[in-house]
Structure formats: structure tokens, C-alpha cells
Amino acid sequence: MIAFCTSIRFPELLFLPKVNFPVTRIQVSFPAKVVFSCGKFEVAESSIDGSSSLSAVPPTLLTAEKEEAKAILNLCLKKQGFSNSAASRAINKSDVFVDHLVSKLHSVHKSRYLVGRELTTLEIRDALSPYLETLLEEHGNAFVDVVENFPNRPVERRSASPISSPTFASESKVVSDLAVDSKKLRALARVSETVPAEKLPQHVVYLIELGLDLEKIQGITQRFPAFAYYSLEGKVRPVVEFLLDLGVPKTNIPIILVKRPQLCGISLSENLIPTMKYLESLGLDNKKWAKVLYRFPALLTYSRQKLKSTLDFLYEMGLSDESIGKVLTCCPNI
């Protein structure tokens, strides 16, 4: 900086009349950046430019987006084996987490809000579902605690001691896991070998007739408890018939469902078929869906956002549209 000498005099200024100049204070406010810290995740509710501020969204739209976020969270909880009432109770305790989901939605789609365009249900689902899946993988059985207590850390629960009786030695790992998870235990009880055949859920009987062993169904339920509660006509049969129509051999259906039981929990009309059309538009051979799904059935359960990030990577590698189509057909697990 340049310092001016104070000894310089301006005589003509000494005779100016005294004037009181009004002083106006201008207050400039910036949206605060609020950071919630909960373990590994940090969330900025608003940024300095205010682009992700909830207050900038019309109240009616904000209410609709909260309902969409609640619906997606409800679906996520049901996939973990929660009943309708249990999922609703958890969501009623999770207003802060729902606000956080909506704020995250705004940060993902800033440009859409700047031009005043509303998001579709699928776009909202594609933005939030991967995030919820990440939280679920990170926190496991404590996921509902994260949701209800956000932004505070979930309460750590001590697991019960495994049963040491020799009778249960072969099942010590399973028992130790189930001791702290009554929901999973109830789900497994529905598909237990002790249940009379006539009392097994209809979709379980259907899958056994299709060639899926009860032991493998129990394994699916162990990993994915919601599977035990699926309806035959509403979820399982439509997906099986859909796979058969694509040319998947009947003997391969059990293998595909063991690899990715979530296929039965995803809407055919809203998710599976649109995802197929999207991949076919990128060059995936529609005559080879049977082989693609046998190799990697998870492909159809990925969100559009996740698929797009993979495609962007392939484009950056210099692959043409034709080459990308061949890659997706031959190596869908990329």
C-alpha cells in the first residue's frame, strides 16, 4: 500500500463551511453454510451463492419434494424389512433428515432450479436412491438410527453374545447376527424349513417350483429381508415372466435372482423397462439381454445417474457409441 504524507496542506479546504454528511449503513447478508457432521458425511444446507437454499423454492414445490423424498425413504425402509407402520413411524421422526434429502436434491440439480424447471419423480429417485444406498451400506442395521437422529451420531448398540451351545455351533455366525436384528429374524422365520409347505409364502412356493432351493431363498432373505415379504402376483411372477420373455432360460432364473433379488422389488414400467430402453439407445444389443442379465443382473437396478457416470468415463477414454454398445453387451459389470 502507498502511504501519503500528512504534512501536505490544502489551505482552500480550511474555509469550506462545515457540512454534516449523512452516513448510511448497508448491511449485506450471506446465507450461512451450515454443516452437519455425522460420522463420515457432511452436508452443506446452503452455499454462499444461495443456489441450494430451500427458501428460494416455492412452498408448494418444496412440500411436494418433501413428499417425494419421504416416499423414496419409505421404499428404502421397506426393503430392509420394515412394515408400513414401522416405516411411517420412523419417517415421522425424521423431519430434519427429510429436509436434508431435499437440500441434497437441490445441490445435485442446481441448474434445473435456476431455470425454474421442476424435477420428475424418476429424476428425484435417481438423485436420492444412490445416496440412501450408500448410507445403508455404511451404517447397516443402524441406518434407521441415522435417519431418526440426524444430524447427530447414531447410538451405538452392543450386540448380544452369541449362543455357545454345541447344538448351535454350525449356525453360530447366523445366530450372532440375528440376535441383534429381530426384523431379519422374523423374515427368516417366514422361509424356515420348519414352516409347513402349505404355510410358506406363495412366492416362496412358486420359486421352489421354479428350481430355487429353500436354502438359497433363506440366503437371499439373510442378505435382503424384504424378499420374504414380496407378493407373488405383485412383484415376483411379473419379473420372472419378464425375464423369460427376454429369452432367459428357465434354469437361469434362480441364478439371476440369487445374484440380484432386488430385481423383484423394482417397478417394471417405471424402472426396469426404461433402463433397458436407455441402454439399448446407447448400443446394447437387445437380442443379448438374456446373456447380459445372466452375467450381471445388477445392471438394470442401477440409477440413471450411476449409468451416466460410467458412460461419461467411457467417452473420456475415446470410445465411440458403437464400441460402448459392445462393451455394455460383453462386459456389463464395467
Report percent pLDDT > 90 for the chain: 19
CB 138 within 8 A of CB 146: no
CB 282 within 8 A of CB 334: no
Residue 274 grid coordinates = 426404461
Res 125: pLDDT: 83
What is 195-330's CATH number?
Answer: 1.25.70.10
Q: Is a pLDDT exceeding 60 seen at residue 25? A: no
> What distance in Å separates the CA atoms of residue 226 and residue 78, rounded to the nearest whole number?
7
Locate cell 455357545: which residue? 164
For 4, the 3-state DSSP assignment is coil
Residue 217 grid coordinates = 431363498
| Cα dihedral sign, 115-118-120-123 | positive
Beta carbons within 8 Å of 114's beta carbon, 6+ residues apart: 51
Res 56: pLDDT: 62
| Secondary structure string (H, E, C) spanning 107-172 | HHCHHHHHCCCCCCHHHHHHHHHHHHHHHHHHHHHHHHHHHHHCCCCCCCCCCCCCCCCHHHHHHH
CA-based nearest residue to 73, from 107, 56, 96: 96
Domain boundaries defined on the chain: 35-149, 195-330
CB 48 within 8 A of CB 30: yes
CA-based nearest residue to 103, from 160, 152, 44, 146: 44
The Cβ of residue 284 has, within 10 Å, a number of other Cβ atoms equal to 22
Confidence band for 243, pLDDT divided at 50, 70 and 90:
very high
> What distance in Å separates the CA atoms of residue 127 and residue 27, rounded to the nearest whole number?
37
Higher pLDDT, 47 or 97: 97
User: Of 96-105, 166-175, 242-251, 266-275, where does mean pLDDT reach its minimum?
Assistant: 166-175
Q: Is a pLDDT exceeding 80 seen at residue 210? A: yes
Predicted TM-score of the model (pTM): 0.48
Residue 89 grid coordinates = 413411524
Q: Is a pLDDT exceeding 90 seen at residue 112? A: no
β-bridge mates for residue 35, sequence order: 44
Backbone angles phi, psi at 149, to 5 degrees: -105, 5
Res 256: pLDDT: 94
